[in-house]
């Protein structure tokens, strides 16, 4: 099943995406509430999806599927080709950073280039959305902790990222975590470790790879994070980006106002944002 957060007639709701239509789930609250109560809600929502109806997707505004996640984490240096182009060693341990709640952005919303900055970059990623979650989750059990997957763009302000040893500030600018266009449930995706993904800027392909090339796979990621913190429903995990980022090109190609960035993951759809100057 595919679940989206959408706005129609001034109301923001959760919906089931079926073909080119969207059906109101009728579930009170946000996507996090739906995920938290998934086991109870699943039979009724499957019946709704089978019954059809709904309204055209073209008549609604798709929002970030999870608008205010409790935690948003992203792993760095997790594809061999990206490690090589970054001129860094393959990490022995997973390298994680957080992205602020205010960086979350809708799948087709503008992406802001902050005033006084000029090194905004793109990073297409498969994003995992935590379901049951928990703590001390083994890699063998990690698949059961995930609700579903969507497309993400780990937009990065490179100058700020490398201004110090911690990356989070350069990764957390407003609107710099667009996700969507919807969440595809884990049962529909199957194995997330064989999905093509790519990024295009103004129609030019910049990144193209497959999640089978992850250095640390998603199950290992969940195991690692859950050692120290409880993963909760709706938490967002960016699972890594492949080679081809603008900062590694010769000459470097950073994003500028008017650029259109499209990120795709096989079977999950695409997100697309126009770069705009802040303010």
Mapping DSSP to helix (H, G, I), strand (E, B) and coil, where does residue 1 land? coil
pLDDT digits (tens, 9 = 90+) for 6-25: 999 999 999 999 999 999 99
pLDDT in tens, 93-133: 999 999 999 999 999 999 999 999 999 999 999 999 999 99
pLDDT value of residue 279: 82
Report residue 87's pLDDT band, with 50, 70 and 90 as the boundaries: confident
Using alpha carbons only, what angle is made at residue 29 by residues 27 and 32, rounded to the nearest 5 degrees? 95
pLDDT digits (tens, 9 = 90+) for 42-80: 999 999 999 999 999 999 999 999 999 999 999 999 998
Distance from the Cα of residue 187 to its chain's centroid: 18
Q: Report which of 269, 273, 268, 124 is spatially closest to residue 208, judged by C-alpha positions.
A: 124
Quote the pLDDT of residue 184.
98
Q: How confident is the model at residue 86 (pLDDT cuts 50, 70, 90)?
A: confident
Q: Are strands 269-277 and 111-113 parallel, antiparallel or unpaired?
A: parallel
pLDDT over 90 (residue 5): yes
Q: What angle do CA 113, 82, 98 make, to 5 degrees?
A: 55
Q: Give the pLDDT score at 195.
A: 98
pLDDT score for 250: 95
**CA distance linking residue 63 with residue 181, whole number of Å:** 8
Delimit the domains of the chain by residue range: 2-63, 72-277
Supply the pLDDT for residue 220: 98
What are the tens digits of pLDDT across the range 136-146?
999 999 999 99
pLDDT tens for 230-247 read 999 999 999 999 999 999
Block residue for tokens 């007639």: 9
| pLDDT score of 120 | 98
pLDDT at 60: 98
CA separation for the pair 110, 72 (Å, rounded)? 20
pTM value? 0.97
Average pLDDT, the chain: 97
State the architecture of 72-277 in CATH terms: Alpha-Beta Complex (3.90)
> What is the average per-residue pLDDT within 75-86?
91
| pLDDT band, very low/low/confident/very high, at 89 (cuts 50, 70, 90) | confident
């Amino acid at each position: 099943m595919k679940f989206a957060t959408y706005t129609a007639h001034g109301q923001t709701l959760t919906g089931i995406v079926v073909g080119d239509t969207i059906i109101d789930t009728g579930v009170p609250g946000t996507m996090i509430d739906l995920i938290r109560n998934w086991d109870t809600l699943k039979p009724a929502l499957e019946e709704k999806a089978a019954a059809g109806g709904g309204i055209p997707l073209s008549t609604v505004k798709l929002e970030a599927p999870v608008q205010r996640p409790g935690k948003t984490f992203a792993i760095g240096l997790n594809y061999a080709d990206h490690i090589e182009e970054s001129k860094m060693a393959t990490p022995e341990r997973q390298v994680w950073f957080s992205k602020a709640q205010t960086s979350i952005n809708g799948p087709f919303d503008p992406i802001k280039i902050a005033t006084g900055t000029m090194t905004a970059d793109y990073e297409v990623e498969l994003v995992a959305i935590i379901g049951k979650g928990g703590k001390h989750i083994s890699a063998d059990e990690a698949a059961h902790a995930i609700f579903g997957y969507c497309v993400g763009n780990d937009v990065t302000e490179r100058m700020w990222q490398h201004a110090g040893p911690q990356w989070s500030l350069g990764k957390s600018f407003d609107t710099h975590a667009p996700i969507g266009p919807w969440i595809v449930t884990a049962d529909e995706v199957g194995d997330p470790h064989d999905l093509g993904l790519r990024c295009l800027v103004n129609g030019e392909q910049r990144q193209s790879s497959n999640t089978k090339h992850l250095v640390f796979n998603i199950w290992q990621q969940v195991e690692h994070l859950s050692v120290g913190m409880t993963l909760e429903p709706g938490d967002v995990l960016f699972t890594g980006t492949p080679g081809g980022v603008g900062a590694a090109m010769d000459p470097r190609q950073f994003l500028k106002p008017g650029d259109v960035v499209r990120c795709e993951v096989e079977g999950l759809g695409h997100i697309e944002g126009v770069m705009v100057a802040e303010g």
